[in-house]
Amino acid sequence: MLNMNNISRIYRSDTIQTHALRDFSLDVKAGEFVAVTGPSGSGKSTFLNVAGLLDGFDQGSYELDGVNIQGLNDDELSRLRNEKIGFIFQNYNLIPDFNLFDNIDMPLRYRGFNAAERKRRIANALEQVGLASRANYLPSQLSGGQQQRVAIARALAGEPKILLADEPTGNLDSLMARQVMELLHTLNEAGSTIIMVTHDPEQARSVGRNVQVIDGQITDHSVYAPEKNNAPIEVNA
Amino acid sequence: MNIKALLKALRLRKFATALLLLQLSLTIGLMVNTVILTASAIEKLKRPLGFDVEQLITVELLPTSGAFRDTDYYRSIAKQDIEKISALDGVISVAHYNQLPIQNGGWNGNVQAADLPEDAILPRELQYVPKFFSSEIGLENLGVEIIEGRALTTLDDFTDRFYSDNRGSSDDTNIILTESLAKAVFPNKSAIGELTNSGRVVGIAKDFVISPNHTRGNSKYFGVFSSFMYSQSDFIQNYVVRVEPGKVAQVQAQLRDTILSVQPERDIIRVQSMSTRLKKFYSQESGLASLFGLLSILMIIVTVVSSFAHAHFHVTQQRKFIGIRRALGARKKDIMLYVFSENWLLNFGASLLGIATMIGLNVALSQVITIDKPDVLLYALAVTIVFAAGTLATWLPAYKTTKISPVIATRTL
Amino acid sequence: MEMFNYYLKLSVRNLKRNRLFFILMISTLAVGVGVFLANIAIIKSMANDPIPHKSDRIFNVTLNIWPNENPSARLRETMRYDDAMHILKNEIATNTLVHYQSKVYTRDINSDNLSRYPAVVRATTPDFFPMMDAPFAFGGAWTEDHAKQVVIGDSLNQQVFNGGDSVGKTIEIDGKSFEVVGVLKPWVVKPMFYHVTGTQAFDISDDIFAPIETAMDSEWAINVQSSQTEQIDSVSDNRGKNGFFIQAFVQLDTPHQKLAMQQYLDNYSQHRKEQGDFLRANDNRLLDVNQWLEHHNVVDERMLAFAIATSLFLAVCIFNASSLLLARYHSARFETGLRRAIGARIKDIFYQGLVESMIIGLCCAALALVFGWLFLKISMTLFPKLQYTSDIDASLIIFGVIIALTTSFISMIYPLIRSCQTSLSTTLK
């Protein structure tokens, strides 16, 4: 589904070169739920930006759902983002003065669906996250957990191949965080591929596969079964 | 105050900054040129004319009936007009004129010494000298003194001679020249007693402005006066009424009816005070100055909007940093000063650029109209106004920064 | 189309949400466009081609003949009666007219009302009508040179006869009667190119057209800047004397005709020289309508000066709008980034901006027309001379809308490009 091979991403300023990612390789199969952990500044975010086609890379190759990303222009990247990826952000990134319907509607518009199709998908997505009755609410009228579910619904509405979640529970209290995680698990069981960046070790342990990034490189590919109770290896960069 | 930090902050928004700089400097340039135009229009209106503008009313009329083609009839009506007007309360004197001072064009002819050789080429300003026909009190009525020789008398009036077919030659006509004209025609001697192609000079009148737009030498003062009632009914006939100070409006209101009560078959084209005539004469100049003034005001308003917006968006963008500064111990005053000093720095840059736009605009304008050169004082004035307007516009956004709580620093977005 | 509607909806939402901001921006832009438009309106009507379909075929005739020796003097743009009569005799031009302007007072001879109306007279020759394409409502031109007949304009016909077919009626001027043989339809020539001398190119229209011989016989005053080098006792006394007051125009449809006409004039002035006149250094001149108008500076240079200022002002307004928009897009870059993240192409964002600039442009256009009209009125109060010059017509309204759309697009373009270039990965954090 997602195949990164020896990806390098270098940020240059006048005097300093920073290797945000170096020889980064990762292969995610369809239906996997992968947690990416790592200390601050390790390159998690860069990885997510590259994976989500928000940012380019300097070396290596990246194939998403069978499409080689190399050399695609901005229009093609936009199209891929729209069709294949669903984003879930830490701070939800909902547009405050759009109601839920219009927020979810946004990606569908760019997809070019007709009104009936958009309506069906929005209703479906809201149903999936349990907010079907609140389509006309504004984000500010919802709790943080509910807002994040709206963001998930927005990601789902386009029926993407892969969900990219960036600290999806980072701004939530533990109860709401649990609800959101349950929702993600349900989606995963229903067949969605999910990559989630987190720095909550417990959350990381709860998913099928765990990847740790340190200094822009993957250092650990351990797979945690939910019943195992090993503590993750902590490495301080 | 850290100028370097300010410059850096401005460089980050170089496009917006450049736009504002351009805008401010254009405003300065336009304002300076506006003031130049306004000042020269006012100066023209204020310039002393050398006759009693404030006390005079002018009347322009045309007969509408063929009866006036009889010159005797024409003159008898004109005399009755003058008598009737003279009888009005507040009127000092009335005279008829073939043309009025403060004019473009008009009734002109060449003036030269009678003994000037045939092949001598007359300077252009002496080829087009306004020739006035009025009564013997024509000059006195305007408030112009005779400074040499004598005034005209009833004996100098050649109207009867002219219309009784015994036309006579210019040798029999006595004339008065204005001082500048006398000097131009007879440069090396007194003109009194000399013979010109228009008649014999018996007096010299003090200079007064007749053709304000004549620029060659003193030609705006040139004029020849003789005593004659031109009685051609298809030419506009003029009366000038001299009134006691403060009576202009009162007399002006009665003139139309007074004249029509003598004989109604006349078209009173215009009754206006001499000062109105002067204002109208310069209406194009003052109109242009007003238009530029209006534009300058609009431009300052736009500048205020821009300065406001610039500061406002800067403050909104920097909310968090301002909060951090506050948390680190900056006083409200310091923050306000920070916002102001950015505006001042911009204004300083704009005032430098403004020199170029001011001169550029001045040069561009001078291609199409006459305009004076800008000077330092006007420039300083424009800079001060733009500076004040900018500071005023920045005040609200600057004040708003004081409302930013230092707590913001600890909050994530 | 669906996307267009979507963008329309988004733009309206944006405008509503940032109401104060857009009011400021749109009104400053509209003031700039309005002022500019008013200025263009004035210049446009001053620079108007009064007779576009034949302005390059109608020529003013100016002769270089002068009775005194004065080689460097300015060319006289009026000619003597005898010169005019000779020009009239040419068999080269398609049409030839000579004229002078007069002013008389007239009334319906049969009316009980004794008051007379002022009337501007064009004392001319019958070719005037076909050359100027003057439209007859009733009747036609006179045929006899000394006929006591006139053609009257529409407004005089309304004033004196209450309109209608007045052919055959009689007007009185100076106690003499003149038969009306033709009535024109409403007709204005702006600027009045056949009589641009002085300041009256815009503020008069002719009321009476009369045979030039009749006008002179009747001693109708010469209401033209004229010169004379000898004693002339009356208007009719000008025949055979050195009084310069007549203007001449010829219609020359081919270059061949023009060449022949030039030759005709040169022959004539040579002939006059032999008769004792002097020729000035200037050539005999044939200027076509637009050259003639330009020669007379019909476009007021003050308005050109003001045009420089209004263009600068427009630029300032664009700068202002642009920097405001830049700030706005800056604050909206979160939303733009989000749209990009969920798959909007740069094209989509740009398109959306375009729709927004179109809406801004339309609002601006509507407002600019109001401001423009207002400013035109103000200009007219400040410049009485403009009063008869300008009005806002359909083409100007279209021009105004185009200017407004263009300026709003220009102000939008850089901010929009900037917002499209925002790096995606940073805005969403």
Domain boundary among B263, B281, B299: B281
- Domain range summary for chain C, segments of one domain joined by +: 2-47+299-428, 58-295
Please check whether residue B393 touches C, CB under 8 A.
no
Q: Do C344 and A82 touch (CB under 8 A)?
A: yes
Selection from B133, B153, B154 nearest residue B231 by Cα? B133
Distance in angstroms (rounded) separating the CA atoms of residues B379 and B387? 12
Q: Is there a single domain that holds both residue B99 and residue B83?
A: yes
**ipTM summary value:** 0.76
Class of residue C90 by CB neighbours under 10 A (exposed 0-12, middle 13-18, buried 19+): middle
Does one domain contain both B90 and B167?
A: yes
Specify the DSSP element, H or E, that contains B23: helix B14-46
How close does chain A come to C340, measured CA to CA in Å?
A: 7
User: Which residues from chain A sit within 8 angstroms of residue C9, using beta carbons?
Assistant: none
CA C369 – CA C372 distance, rounded (Å)? 5
- pLDDT tier at B282 (50, 70, 90 boundaries)? confident
Shortest distance between the Cα of C256 and any Cα of chain B, in A, equals: 37
Q: What is the pLDDT of residues A139-194, one digit of tens each?
A: 989 988 899 999 999 998 988 989 999 889 888 888 888 888 999 999 999 888 99
Q: Give pLDDT tens digits for B353-376.
A: 999 999 999 998 888 888 888 888
Q: Is C324 on the interface with B (CB under 8 A)?
A: yes
Closest Cβ opposite residue C341 in set A74, A87, A111: A87
pLDDT tens digits, one per residue of C180-197: 999 999 988 888 888 886
**Are residues B152 and B239 located together in one domain of the fold?**
yes
B 163-222 → C contacts, CB under 8 A: none
Residues B100 and B241 in one domain: yes
* A110·C346 Cβ contact <8 A: no
B59 lies in which domain range?
53-281
B2 vs C327, which has greater pLDDT? C327
Which letter, b or e, does each residue of B118-145 get, where b requires 16 or more Cβ atoms within 10 Å of its Cβ? eeeeeeebbebbbbbbbbbbbbbbbbbe
Residues B143 and B101 in one domain: yes
Please give the helix or strand (H or E) that residue C242 lies within, else none: none
* Average pLDDT for C378-397: 75
Which of C3, C334, C335 lies at the smallest CB-CB distance from A109? C3
Could you tell me the CA-to-CA distances from B208 to B136, B222, C62 in Å, in that order?
18, 8, 36
Last residue of a domain, one of B264, B281, B298: B281
User: Is B390 a residue whose pLDDT tops 50?
Assistant: yes
Of the pLDDT bands very low, low, confident and very high (cuts 50, 70, 90), residue C427 is low
> Looking at the whole model, is its pTM more than 0.80?
no
Measured between beta carbons, the chain B residues lying within 8 angstroms of C331 are 313, 316-317
Q: Give C10-17 contacts, CB < 8 A, sequence gap 24+.
A: C10/C352, C10/C355, C10/C356, C11/C352, C11/C355, C11/C356, C11/C359, C12/C359, C13/A97, C14/C332, C14/C356, C15/C356, C15/C359, C15/C360, C17/A97
Q: How far is A89 from chain C (nearest CA, A)?
A: 8
Chains near A with 3+ CB pairs less than 8 A apart are: C
If one counts the domains in chain B, the total is 2
What average pLDDT does this structure show over B89-111? 89
**Residue B16 shares a structural domain with residue B89:** no
CB contact under 8 A, C425 and A97: no
| Cβ within 8 Å, pair A109-C346 | no
Chain B residue with CA closest to C429: the answer is B413
pLDDT of C265: 92
**Predicted confidence (pLDDT) per residue in B155-200, tens digit:** 888 888 888 765 555 567 899 999 999 999 998 888 898 888 888 9
Residues B316 and B255 grouped into a single domain: no
- B307 shares its domain with B320: yes
Closest CA to B366 of C308, A94, C105: C308
Q: Return residues 119-148 of C near B (CB < 8 Å).
A: none
Smallest Cβ–Cβ distance between A78 and the set C2, C334, C345 belongs to C345
B316 and C331 within 8 Å at the Cβ level: the answer is: yes
Instruction: Report the 3 state secondary structure along chain A.
Output: CEEEEEEEEEEECCCCEEEEEEEEEEEECCCCEEEEECCCCCCHHHHHHHHCCCCCCCEEEEEECCEECCCCCHHHHHHHHHHHEEEECCCCCCCCCCCHHHHHHHHHHHHCCCHHHHHHHHHHHHHHCCCHHHCCCCHHHCCHHHHHHHHHHHHHHCCCCEEEEECCCCCCCHHHHHHHHHHHHHHHHCCCEEEEECCCHHHHHCCCEEEEEECCEEEECCCCCCCCCCCCCCCCC
Say which of A49, A74, A87 has its CB closest to residue C342.
Answer: A87
Three-point CA angle C361, C363, C366, nearest 5°: 105
Last residue of a domain, one of B239, B264, B281: B281
Mean pLDDT of chain C: 86
Is the same domain home to B190 and B289? no
Do B217 and B90 lie in a common domain?
yes
Contacts of C312 in chain B (CB under 8 A): 26, 29-30, 361
| Lookup: tokens for A17 | 């070169």
**Residue B287 and residue B279: Cα distance in Å, rounded?**
10
**Residue B400 shares a structural domain with residue B274:** no
Chain A residue numbers with beta carbons less than 8 Å from the beta carbon of C333 are none
Which of A54, A75, A109 is opposite residue C341, by nearest beta carbon? A54
Per-residue pLDDT at A227: 43
Q: Which of residues 67-126 of A touch C (CB under 8 A)?
A: 74-75, 78-83, 85, 87, 89, 93, 95, 97, 106-107, 109-112, 114-115
Query: C319 and B23: CB-CB below 8 Å?
Result: yes
Measured between CB atoms, which of C339, C425, C428 is closest to A106? C339
Of C116, C175, C414, the CB nearest to B15: C414
The chains found to touch B (3+ Cβ pairs under 8 angstroms) are C
What's the rounded mean pLDDT across residues B28-52?
87
**Is A218's pLDDT higher than 70?**
yes
- Write down the pLDDT at residue B141: 93
Q: C338 contacts in A (CB within 8 Å)?
A: 93, 95, 106
**Contact residues, chain C, for B30 at CB < 8 Å:** 309, 312-313
Residue C246 DSSP class: B
One domain, residues B391 and B287: yes
CA–CA min distance C410, chain A (Å): 25
Judged by a CB distance cut-off of 8 A, whether residue C317 touches chain B is yes
